[in-house]
Amino acid sequence: MIYFEFLSVYMEICSAKRFNFAKKMFDFIIVGLGIAGWSFVRQLQENKRSFVVFDTSAENSTLASAGVFNPVILKRFTLAWKAAEYLPYALLQYKKYELENTGHQFIYDLPIYRKLTSVAEQNEWSSVSGRPVFEKYMNGISHEHLPGIESPFGFGVMKNTGMIDVNLLLSVLRKQLKKQNLLRENRFDYKRVRFVKNHIEYEGLKAKYIVFTEGFGLKKNPFFGHLPLMGTKGESILVKLSKPVNMIIKSNIFLAPLPGTGLHMAGATYNWTDKSLTPTSEARIHLAEKLQKLYHEPFEIVGQKAGIRPTVKDRRPLLGRHGEYENLFVFNGLGTRGVILAPRLAKMLFEHIVFDIPLPEKVDIKRFG
């Protein structure tokens, strides 16, 4: 009799625990775990806010990214929007995460060698690199011999540049979240969102806010799918070089070493019509031909990646609150320089949501009405 009474009490306690977990009020639900999702999660962790993440990695363009950080647009010799201003904070965030995860390296400082093709380009490089706005990132001209690469006019050398190992960065966070039971690896069902006074309910979870950081997956989002996110497909090939190079080479194709793998990434293509994530033979052939013109030693193609860059028609990110549902927010449209922009923008969005600090007009989705 005593045993059954004890069992009954024990089951009531367990039931209560399950009930309390289901009824727990999270501060945030995050949908998507690319570089935008990672950056926003880091803000929540640093500010001790509770959250749960939904992500399947199905449309994660970050995983197809080389993770190069360089604030200068080498094609036009201009600074990318806010890149130089936001880069120090981004590197600080990646370094802090690196220190928290001993044994993992996320930041690789690598120079970029831009192949020069004429005396005119030499003169232009010398002129531009001498301007105060570029002196932090642009060095002089090098005539260094690089394995397999001919450049009679030399290379314009970039400094304070490099790569973020975004695949490892996201993998480490995913493992941590899974261990803490904070990652749901199933597709988010927008139809199951319920709006209750002062909070949101979704599949037994309660949260004050939902932040959508889905990349190109936003096009399927009924709350924010109207935003002018165009999406640009990019493909790259993974190659094994017979004579490796230890810097990033930029010509009409980029060639970058992938840390710890012995492989290099060569890319990338730009396709504005194909929105699939399937690598194509056309891109593979196109990239191989370009690489052969740059690198004159044997190489082997060992893989291929494809992703959809979350690009916007005015080339500015998409941040802000939904016009009707005040609990819903979007963080998207980072384009080709997400590793530079995401950490600082995540901080802005967090402070906008929690402290009601206005967002800059150029990133606020209000600009689209």
Q: How many CB atoms lie within 10 A of CB 86?
A: 21
Distance CA 290, CA 254 (A): 10
Taking residues 124-143, what's their average pLDDT?
Answer: 94
Q: Is residue 267 within 8 Å of 288, Cβ to Cβ?
A: no
Residue 64 banded pLDDT, cuts 50, 70, 90: low
Q: What is the pLDDT of residue 16?
A: 38
Burial class (CB in 10 A: 0-12, 13-18, 19+), 196: exposed
Buried-exposed string 269-290: b where 16+ CB fall within 10 A, e elsewhere: bebeebeebebbeebbeebeeb
At 259 the pLDDT is: 84
Domain boundary among 287, 309, 331: 309
What residues make up the domain containing 344?
A: 2-63+167-229+314-368
What one-character DSSP code corresponds to residue 180? Answer: T
Section 132-153 average pLDDT: 94
Q: How confident is the model at residue 202 (pLDDT cuts 50, 70, 90)?
A: very high
Same domain, 327 and 339: yes
d(CA 141, CA 302): 33
Q: Tell me whether residue 243 is in a domain.
A: yes
| Residues 46 and 129 occupy one common structural domain | no
For residue 39, what pLDDT is reported? 98
In tens, the pLDDT along 68-87 reads 999 999 888 899 999 999 99
The number of distinct structural domains making up the chain is 2
* Residue 6 region by backbone torsions, left for phi larger than 0, else alpha for psi between -120 and 50, else beta: alpha
Indicate if 279 and 332 belong to the same structural domain.
no
Whether 19 and 143 map to the same domain: the answer is no
In angstroms and rounded to an integer, the radius of gyration of the C-alpha atoms of the chain is 23
Q: In CATH, what number is assigned to the domain containing residue 356?
A: 3.50.50.60
Q: What percent of the chain has pLDDT over 70?
A: 92
Indicate whether 43 and 13 sit together in one domain. Answer: yes
Residues 152 and 201 in one domain: no
- 256-308 tens-digit pLDDT: 999 888 999 999 999 989 989 899 999 999 999 999 999 999 999 999 999 99
Return the pLDDT at 57: 72
